[in-house]
Amino acid sequence: MSPSAPSLHDKLNQLRQRFIEQLPARLQHITEQWQQSRASTEAEARLGPELHRFFHSLKGTGRSLGFERIALLADQGETALNEPTPSAHVIERVFVQLAEEQQRLQSLPGQQRALAALNSVEFAPTPIKTRSKRQRLIYLCDDEPDQVGQLLHHLRCFGHEVVHFEDTDAFFNAVISRRPDAIIMDVQFPQGNTAGTETLTSLNKLTGERLPAIVLSAHGDFHSRLSAVRAGCNGYFTKPVKPLDLMLAVDELTTPLDDEPLRVLVVDDEPEVAAYHALLLEQAGMVVQQVNHPSDALTALERFSPDLLLVDVYMPVCSGEELANIIRQQPEHVGLPIIYLSSETDSQKQLSAMTAGVEAFITKPVVPEELVSAVQLRAERLRLLRSLMTRDSMTGLYNHSTTTDLISKALAQAHRDNTQHAMAMIDIDHFKAVNDTHGHLAGDQVIITLSRLLKTRLRMSDIIGRYGGEEFVVLLKGVSDERASELIDGLRHDFAQVDFHAGGAHFRCTFSAGISSFPIQPSTESLRLSADQALYRAKHQGRNQVVTSTEQDDDGFPTARL
């Protein structure tokens, strides 16, 4: 951040302190005005606007400074004043509550807590930026410390930032000032059997959002469950909770839907027409690139990698049909949906265009909604197909062939840019024994857990693939083998702490890893081989460790794998 950041921060904190300090005098003054206004209708008419403005200003300033409770009370006051006959009872109660809130904020712990909650948030974007895209901020609110320790450990193990609250008030204030990605909430608290879910309900009402929440309860009774449903909770766990199950539920809850916009390449020799179609699609939230010469289409395909191609049929040099044929002759574009645009209404001619493997025909002038829906439908279908083809169905990681392709592409790029990458081959130790002893479901659980761990802890730009069975491969971009080894060893350490449950038994698992680096190993194949040899050494030396490949591996030392 720029050096002026702390000064804004300090300035706002000063303003917050002054706001709290000034509040008693303002309250005192306005209470007097209120008393006077009740003396006569004349006084009421005269002082009404001031009372109104007091609440209104308190609401706006309070909310801007992050004092949400003050704003809420001020809003209640304002609403009461707007009634044809304002209820003295309500307004006086608001005064009392404002004074109480002021005292809470004034008291040292209250103020510190409020400021601490505020300081971690707005106006200081740094803490949010340091979290990687897959890391989540999780609030855990539970007053029983013995349960919490293990949960905290597991959640942090997966790279999540977890904040623990012992009472609902502190939790409430924290949510107001900084929204978490997920909430784990105990139902029972000393102040009430459903105090936890009630807090969630009032937060949902106040914020107008549905906060993603999972509820923990000592009871599975109907009343507790009902209170959770009413609070809009996404999950319900009865204690004792298996940390891993909870972790997976949190993961599911916070994984964003695939909202990457659809990409469309428009090929039309008339720039204005292309721009018009591009605009229609962009308004529907798609990313569009235009090409005005068919000869540029291939390079654009390569660089832009669209989900769909929108082509004008009549173009000089090369017709849309010819272009479609050229594109279809390249294996990597066989599945790319192509939509033709033309003023051709003769269905016979349209049919002949279809033989080139075109998905649809839209006649100009286009009906905007028709164009958008035709494009959306086909592009989304291709996306789904692509993901089925490239990803491993159990873990959602890239499958073997896609991983290899992606790594080869990354290396080709790295050759040009002179960057270094590291590869890690990871293999779960004694995996067969897990399957044999605890069953395949337990084995699947281990694989899913490791894949989630890799996904949450590594960067989005890293390539993570499941190579088959219990073997994973990772390409860590722009990283030395030393750094890669540290990173993977950190994961190894945390993975070893995860408790797995199968039936009544619980067990732990470890993995071994081998690291190799580019450009010492210049190709995908040699990287893989070298990482594999290092992995073999790690297994041989007793497993549960990370070994970095050395030059020796390639110099004729015995490398045979059994």
Partner 1 sequence: MRILVVDDDPLAGEMIGALLEFQGYDVLLANDAMEAISQLDAHDTIALIVSDMHMPLVSGIELLNMLREQGVTLPFILLTGDTPDETLRQTPGLSACLQKDAALDTSLGHAVAQAVGE
Task: By CB under 8 A, name the binding residues for partner 1.
Answer: 4-5, 7-8, 11-12, 15, 18-19, 22, 49-50, 52-53, 56-57, 59-61, 63-66, 68, 121-123, 177
Q: Which is nearer to partner 1, 131 or 328 (CB)?
A: 131
Shortest distance, CB of residue 407 to partner 1, whole angstroms?
Answer: 39
* Both tokens assigned to 179: 């929204």
- 49 vs 365 by CB, closer to partner 1: 49
Q: How far is the CB of 19 from partner 1 (least distance, A)?
A: 6
Nearer to partner 1, 61 or 292 (CB): 61
Minimum distance of partner 1 from residue 59's CB (angstroms): 4
In three-state secondary structure terms, 118 is helix
Residue 238: half-sphere exposure toward Cβ, Cα within 13 Å: 7
Euclidean distance between CA atoms 378 and 376, whole angstroms: 6
Token pair listed for 552: 């020796």
Min CB(546)–partner 1 separation in Å: 42
Identify residue 303 by its one-letter amino acid code: R
Asked if 38 and 88 touch (Cβ cutoff 8 Å), the reply is yes
- Which amino acid makes up residue 99? A
Contact (CB, 8 A) for 270 and 278: no
Alpha-carbon distance of 529 to 113, in angstroms, equals: 55
Minimum Å gap between C-beta 176 and partner 1 is 8
Nearer to partner 1, 20 or 454 (CB): 20
What is the nearest approach in angstroms of partner 1 to the Cβ of residue 46?
12
Nearest distance in Å: CB 177, partner 1 = 7
> Which residue's CB is nearer to partner 1, number 22 or number 461?
22
Cα–Cα distances (Å) from 140 to 3, 133, 150, 181, 511, in that order, read: 34, 20, 12, 11, 29
| Minimum distance from residue 86 beta carbon to partner 1 (Å) | 18
Distance between CA atoms of residues 260 and 285, nearest Å: 10
Q: In degrees, to the nearest 5, what angle opens at C-alpha 409 toward C-alphas 408 and 413?
A: 115
3 state SS of 162: strand
**C-beta closer to partner 1: residue 122 or 245:** 122
Smallest gap from residue 49 Cβ to partner 1 (A): 7
Cα–Cα distance measured from residue 275 to residue 358, given in angstroms and rounded to the nearest whole number: 22
Least distance in angstroms from the C-beta of 14 to partner 1 = 9
8 Å CB contact between 344 and 375: no
73 near 98, Cβ under 8 Å? yes
Token pair of 76, please? 């209640």
Q: Which residues does 222 contact at the CB level (< 8 Å), separation at least 6?
A: none
Cβ atoms of residues 201 and 229 within 8 Å: no
Task: Evaluate whether 341 touches 366 at the Cβ level (below 8 Å).
Answer: yes
Residue 21 or 32 having the CB closest to partner 1: 21
Nearest residue (CB) to partner 1, 5 versus 385:
5
Alpha carbons 483 and 476: distance in angstroms, whole number: 10
Least distance from partner 1 to the Cβ atom of residue 258, Å:
26
Nearer residue to partner 1 within complex by CB, 121 or 163: 121
Q: Which residue, 53 or 303, is less far from partner 1 as judged by CB? A: 53
For partner 1, which is the closer residue by CB, 18 or 38? 18
Nearer to partner 1, 3 or 145 (CB): 3
Neighbours of 271 (CB within 10 A): 11
Distance between CA atoms of residues 547 and 481, nearest Å: 10
Nearest Cα to 78, choosing from 95, 102, 53, 97?
A: 53
DSSP 8-state secondary structure symbol assigned to residue 334:
T
In the bound complex, what is the minimum distance in angstroms from residue 116's beta carbon to partner 1?
15
In the structure encoding, which two tokens stand for residue 471, read together?
A: 């073997």
